[in-house]
Amino acid sequence: MSVKDLVLIEGLEIRTVIGIYDWEREIRQTVRLDLEMAWDISRAAASDNIEDALDYKSVSKRLISFVEGSSFGLIEKLAEQCAQILMNEFAVPWLRLKMSKPGAVRGTENVAVLIERGCID
């Protein structure tokens, strides 16, 4: 049976040290995460028990803790690290993660990377 269900977390904003310029290393900037995570929700739907679900509150808290405490030059590196946390600690088999850095380039609303990791059977 293939998993076709997705658990979404959209617009998770976290302040962190991110950037390659000296002035960026001295301030905290906002990054925004949008996540799509493959998860078979049938057990949780049947049991109505959080232990059978992908607990999006726990996922969010873990990512907030990691990102707030991190310091990277590139959002590419930060996005990859977040993906690894989700796959290794929460057993997410597939994910699509968009990491945005709002206002990073003058005249733009946003710059971002979008990555997919894992596979859906």
Which residues participate in catalysis according to the annotation?
A: 101
Contact 14, 64 (CB under 8 A): yes
Q: What is the 3-state secondary structure (H, E, C) of the chain?
A: CCCCCEEEEEEEEEEEEECCCHHHHHCCEEEEEEEEEECCCHHHHHHCCHHHCCCHHHHHHHHHHHHHCCEECCHHHHHHHHHHHHHHHCCCCEEEEEEECCCCCCCCCCCEEEEEEECCC
